[in-house]
């Protein structure tokens, strides 16, 4: 078990979130996918949510980008807290950080979900 497990593990989660959000950005460069994402069937720009007969790919891309960017931001806040606590006592406080791991995951994955649902 490493002495600085949690600040390093949080950096891993931040990178995973950025990688998945980047996949959402890269989808637009697929063959023919840009028209499905940014335009309606009649060629006009999207002004709202797609209706039942339209492609839902724009919603999927939105969720990929928005949810995982928000999750990365929350993980960054958790990272600053874990970093602060680990430097505050130089390793003596590590057990307290490890005990809060479940709360870190709860905050990092549920808060962006609530924001994504509220935005849609």
Q: Which domain, by its residues, includes 17?
A: 5-119
Q: Taking all residues of the chain, what is their mean pLDDT, rounded to a whole number?
A: 81
- Can you name the residues that pair with 39 across neighbouring β-strands? 45
SS3 state at 75 = helix
Instruction: Specify burial of residue 93 (Cβ count, 10 A radius: 0-12, 13-18, 19+).
Output: middle
pLDDT tens profile 54-79: 667 778 888 899 999 999 999 999 99
- Can you name the residues that pair with 45 across neighbouring β-strands? 39
pLDDT tens profile 1-18: 545 577 788 999 999 999
User: How many independent structural domains does the chain possess?
Assistant: 1
pTM, two decimal places: 0.79
- Separation between Cα atoms, residue 47 and residue 64, nearest integer Å: 19
CA-closest candidate to residue 81, choices 63, 106, 100, 64: 100
Question: How many C-beta atoms surround the C-beta of residue 51 within 10 A?
Answer: 9
């Amino acid at each position: 078990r490493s002495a600085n497990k949690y600040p390093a593990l949080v950096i891993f989660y931040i990178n995973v979130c950025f990688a998945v959000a980047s996949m959402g950005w890269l989808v637009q460069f697929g063959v023919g996918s840009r028209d499905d994402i940014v335009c309606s069937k009649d060629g006009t720009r999207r002004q709202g949510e797609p209706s039942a007969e339209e492609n839902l790919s724009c919603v999927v891309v939105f969720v990929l980008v928005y949810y995982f960017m928000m999750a990365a931001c929350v993980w960054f806040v958790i990272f600053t807290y874990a970093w602060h606590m680990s430097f505050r006592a130089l390793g003596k406080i590590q057990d307290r950080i490890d005990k809060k791991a479940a709360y870190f995951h709860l905050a990092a994955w549920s808060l962006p979900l609530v924001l994504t649902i509220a935005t849609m």
